[in-house]
């Protein structure tokens, strides 16, 4: 690496950003974490923090928070991309989602910004079960969601970080959209059963109605946009539209994606699902 400028990793302490930061650092590529705990601080809700965070960086990994499916995300991501390009930072890698109107709008915004873009359009992360909102229910031994038999090709965050690392450090990925899925479709009940088996625990999966789910989300006193998001993801996006496997991991990494059972066994061994 001749370029010693850091790569700015938005969400650099989150599920994919943290893993990308580890990979780049291990290869001697300097990184700057872009988040509210970063230095300088980066906050999506405070545009005045964006310029200082991107000063002197060579490229940006854009992971939006809370979710690129939330209305308004595309305009915010678009404004960020245009500021980056105007500041001379053209290399942008966007973490996106599948089958989500707002996510696909954000992709178009980044493409239209004039950036040298790469898009990683990802399925549900396996790590939602261990580093996200589902961990609490798994520990309680009961996961209740308004999702039936629809299959989701859960993708491991390690595969996403590997893809982002390659896109940011090797030639040939500008202008590429990689749709990243795992190698197998699993229902949420299947996924919970695999985790229960790997963790050696009794964990039940219950399909609830949308109304029951909405009531339980409301009872948890979550921020309104998070409650909206969960309903959107479970009632709209998980309608079968994403029930397909892709060759994205193979295309970008030249190998197969990690299977959910490998994720479940590795993660169970950390003790995160033991109570
Ligand atoms: N999870 C999935 O299954 C999935 C699937 C496809 C696409 N995606 C997309 O991936 C992106 C990240 O989702 P995730 O679930 O993996 O979250 P995550 O990256 O684990 O989110 C946490 C990160 O966001 C940062 N953060 C929180 N509030 C922030 C703010 N106001 N400004 C700047 N940074 C902030 C946190 O750091 P600080 O606390 O230090 O600020 C942390 O680095 C989203 O855009 C989502 O739509 C997710």
In the DSSP assignment, the letter for residue 210 is H
Average pLDDT over residues 9-29: 98
pLDDT of residue 95: 99
Q: Is 154's pLDDT higher than 60?
A: yes
Of the listed ranges 79-93, 136-150, 214-228, the one predicted with least confidence? 214-228
Rounded to the nearest integer, the mean pLDDT of the chain is: 95
Reading the block at residue 53, the tokens are 């965070």
The DSSP code sequence of 220-243 is TT--HHHHHHHHHIIIIITSSTT-
Nearest CA to ligand 1 atom 32: 43
**CA nearest to 172, candidates 85, 107, 251, 111:** 251
Q: Are 92 and 63 in contact (CB under 8 A)?
A: no
Q: Which atom of ligand 1 sits closest to the CA of residue 125?
A: 3
Q: How many A from CA of 81 to the centre of ligand 1?
A: 17
Model confidence at 225, pLDDT cuts 50, 70, 90, reads confident
pLDDT tens per residue across span 76-129: 999 999 999 999 999 999 999 999 999 999 999 999 999 999 999 999 999 999
Specify the DSSP class assigned to residue 57.
Answer: -
Ligand 1 pocket (Cβ < 6 Å) reads 11-17, 35-37, 42-45, 63-65, 67-69, 95, 97, 122, 124-125, 128, 132
Q: How far is CA 171 from CA 166, 210, 257, in A?
A: 8, 46, 21
Query: Could you tell me which residue, 262 or 1, shows the higher pLDDT?
Result: 262
pLDDT surpassing 80 at residue 174: yes
pTM of the model: 0.97
- Residue 3 confidence class, pLDDT cut points 50, 70, 90: low
> Which atom of ligand 1 is found nearest the CA of 131?
20
Percentage of the chain with pLDDT > 90? 88
- Please tell me the distance from the alpha carbon of residue 198 to that of residue 207, in angstroms, as a whole number: 22
């Amino acid at each position: 690496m001749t370029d010693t400028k850091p790569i700015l990793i938005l969400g650099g302490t989150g599920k994919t950003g943290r893993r990308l930061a580890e990979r780049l650092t291990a290869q001697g590529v300097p990184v700057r974490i872009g988040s509210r705990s970063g230095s300088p601080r980066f906050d999506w809700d405070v545009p005045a923090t964006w310029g200082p965070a991107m000063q002197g960086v060579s490229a940006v990994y854009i992971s939006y928070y809370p979710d690129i499916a939330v209305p308004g995300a595309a305009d915010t991501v678009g404004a960020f991309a245009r500021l980056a390009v105007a500041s001379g930072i053209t290399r942008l890698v966007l973490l996106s989602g599948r089958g989500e109107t707002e996510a696909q709008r954000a992709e178009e915004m980044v493409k239209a910004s004039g950036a040298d873009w790469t898009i990683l359009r990802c399925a549900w992360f396996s790590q939602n079960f261990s580093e996200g909102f589902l961990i609490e229910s798994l520990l309680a031994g009961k996961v209740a969601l308004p999702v039936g038999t629809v299959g989701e090709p859960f993708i491991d965050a390690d595969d996403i970080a590997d893809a982002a690392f390659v896109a940011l450090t090797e030639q040939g990925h500008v202008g590429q959209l990689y749709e990243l899925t795992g190698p197998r479709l699993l229902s949420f009940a299947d996924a919970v059963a695999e985790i229960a088996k790997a963790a050696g625990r009794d964990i039940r999966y219950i399909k609830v109605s949308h109304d029951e789910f909405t009531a339980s989300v409301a009872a948890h006193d979550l921020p309104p946009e998070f409650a909206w998001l969960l309903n959107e993801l479970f009632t709209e996006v998980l309608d079968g539209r994403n029930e397909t496997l892709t060759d994205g991991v193979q295309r970008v990494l030249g190998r197969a994606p990690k299977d959910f059972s490998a994720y479940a066994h590795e993660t169970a061994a950390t003790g995160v699902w033991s109570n």
